[in-house]
Amino acid sequence: MSVGVFGGAFDPPHLGHVALVRAGVERFGLDRLLVRVVADPGHKRVATRPDVRLHLAELAFAPLGVAETALDPFPRTVDSLEALDLPDPVFLVGADEFVSLPTWKQPARVLELARLGVATRPGIDGKQLDAVLETLERPDRVHFFPIDPLPVSSSEIRARAARGAPIDAFVPAPVAEEIARLGLYRGVETGGGGGMLGEDPTERTTPT
């Protein structure tokens, strides 16, 4: 029984997240995928209540069949993995997030608790990834897998929704319908990172 974990603010969940997870499930032969919706992502600004983000994530990831979606009370990955106490889990992340691994809380302990499955896309700077690997005691715990590039981020979707632009091309259909039904992100102040758009990862605000 192999278990994967995928964490995020999911404000909202989008097709980039789903593509990453689909590829990760296949690459690691995952029987279960625990989607962790970080209730209070610390320094990262969220526009939406945790229970609403949980609901959107359930809609986004349910079609995978293996996803179990829940709120995560821990903003930091290491604390979440300690609490989950899983046998040899694979923690899935985007390459942009992996580049910031040295700034996560206790990265060495993270790699003791889980292997990292890092989704890469064409255009990712391999030297940056190598530089991070060189800082690790256990680089053997990191596995890269390719995904098709999907230039989409939650912050961009919030910005689009706030100005009334369509978001259907960026989120699963049930998520788009629910965002419209609940009137989410209308006129909200947007901000935060840019997903895998290739921005400077040091400017990301997610503490992992």
Q: Which residues bind ligand ATP (CB under 6 A)?
A: 8-11, 16-17, 20, 93-94, 96-97, 119, 150, 152-155, 192-196, 206
To the nearest whole angstrom, how small is the minimum distance from the Cβ of residue 164 to ligand ATP? 19
| 11/178 with CB nearer ligand ATP | 11
* Residues linked to residue 145 through DSSP beta bridges, in sequence order: 119
To the nearest whole angstrom, how small is the minimum distance from the Cβ of residue 122 to ligand ATP? 12
| 42/166 with CB nearer ligand ATP | 42
Question: In sequence order, which residues have a C-beta less than 8 Å from that of residue 84 and are 6 or more positions away?
Answer: 5, 34
The count of other CB atoms within 10 Å of the CB of residue 122 is 8
| 1/168 with CB nearer ligand ATP | 168
Cα-Cα-Cα-Cα dihedral sign, residues 196, 96, 68, 12: negative
Of the candidates 70, 137, 68, the one whose C-alpha atom is nearest the C-alpha of residue 102 is 137
| 1/91 with CB nearer ligand ATP | 91
| 1/167 with CB nearer ligand ATP | 167
H or E stretch at 59: helix 50-61
To the nearest whole angstrom, how small is the minimum distance from the Cβ of residue 53 to ligand ATP? 9
Measuring CA to CA, how many Å separate 91 from each of 8, 25, 138, 185? 12, 11, 15, 29
To the nearest whole angstrom, how small is the minimum distance from the Cβ of residue 119 to ligand ATP? 6
To the nearest whole angstrom, how small is the minimum distance from the Cβ of residue 117 to ligand ATP? 10
